[in-house]
Structure 1
């Protein structure tokens, strides 16, 4: 093998690595980082603990790998907000994307929430280098829309926080929501949040 080149992983290695990460996502989203063990991940993956350690040095590397993969997905809905679009339409579309994410990626949502609740010990660099500049950029866009009279005056930062909290609630508290509502809340949640933010933001 030429010097400086790395051997590509086999299909079996790629499959096992994906299997481990998917199983770990299940376990971390339920038990959190501290409550998760390699034995639990191995059992969920249907692999031996030594097999897990062949691919990852320990549960922290698995956790960090999942968080790294998650960050781009987590930022995408905000990235898609178009500064040249209609302000109300852009913000309501953002609400819809975040609500869809809560429905489609509940494990990822709980993984993210658990990391933040712990003080983001493994994700803080991503928040500072990735989320913070994007957050500042989009808040500046929202403030410009407000200054132009296209949106009602609100604090853009708290507006984004409100969108996060109202949409992510449906992932992090999914069991409670389904018990209280007697089924899938997605459609009625969308109608309610569109109404809520339309009234808040219409000048």
Structure 2
């Protein structure tokens, strides 16, 4: 093997790994605040404390960084829905999903806003993921919910719109954080209150 081939395949150094993480974290901050169209490489470089040429050493451009973040995000976004057990207690499983989504919204607000901004723009970069990854999982878990309804274990409603409602009521706390933080300024009150309210809301909706 030539020296050039060896060089091109060797693992990135610790500094290179650190810089990639630094750039992606800075980009997440910029994209979540300004959206894809409003974000610039100069803003990302400033947020990361690196030069623009340094950013371009690691990534091909703004879109490359954005797609990398979306690819990382999609797995995290799907995992809570995958954890819903078709053999478990239906109300407990659905409330568990609600809590996982709420925890994600409160712990990962920038990621939630990144996802929301992408969807608002028509999902130009995430579209393939929605079709290939989210749609099969959405259909599978909708069937699980329908089976629970057919068995009389939970009240009948539209499974798809139920999932939409869970997404809307949990991700609100990330996507509209600027509003909720003003209206409910105490973190503990906001989190505990949201959890208790969503438990009450979905328990009443789902109890046969």
TM-score range, shorter chain: over 0.9
Q: CA deviation at 1:182?
A: 2.6
Residues 129-160 of structure 1, C-alpha deviations (whole Å, 9 max, x = no match): 00000000000000000000000000000000
Partner of 1:189: 194
Residues 161-195 of structure 1, C-alpha deviations (whole Å, 9 max, x = no match): 00000000000111201111232211100000000
RMSD of equivalent CA atoms? 1.1
Could you tell me the TM-score, scaled by structure 2's length? 0.96
Partner of 2:40: 37
How far apart are the structure 2 equivalents of 1:144 and 1:188?
Answer: 31
2:63 is aligned, of 54, 60, 65, to 60
1:96 aligned onto 2:99: yes
Following TM superposition, where does structure 1 have runs of at least 4 consecutive aligned residues deviating by more than 3 angstroms?
Answer: 1-5
Map 1:10-25 → 2, pairs under 5 A:
10-25=13-28
How far apart are the structure 2 equivalents of 1:55 and 1:143?
Answer: 46
How far apart are the structure 1 equivalents of 2:40 and 2:183?
Answer: 32
Map 1:66-77 → 2, pairs under 5 A:
66-77=69-80
Structure 1 stretches lacking a partner, 5+ long: none
Secondary structure of 2:9's aligned partner:
coil
How far apart are the structure 2 equivalents of 1:141 and 1:182?
Answer: 38
How far apart are the structure 1 equivalents of 2:197 and 2:55?
Answer: 44
Map 1:118-197 → 2, pairs under 5 A:
118-184=121-187, 185-197=190-202
Could you tell me the TM-score, scaled by structure 1's length? 0.98
How far apart are the structure 2 equivalents of 1:73 and 1:95?
Answer: 15
Paired residue total: 203
How far apart are the structure 2 equivalents of 1:182 and 1:33?
Answer: 29
Residues 41-66 of structure 1, C-alpha deviations (whole Å, 9 max, x = no match): 00000000000000001000000000
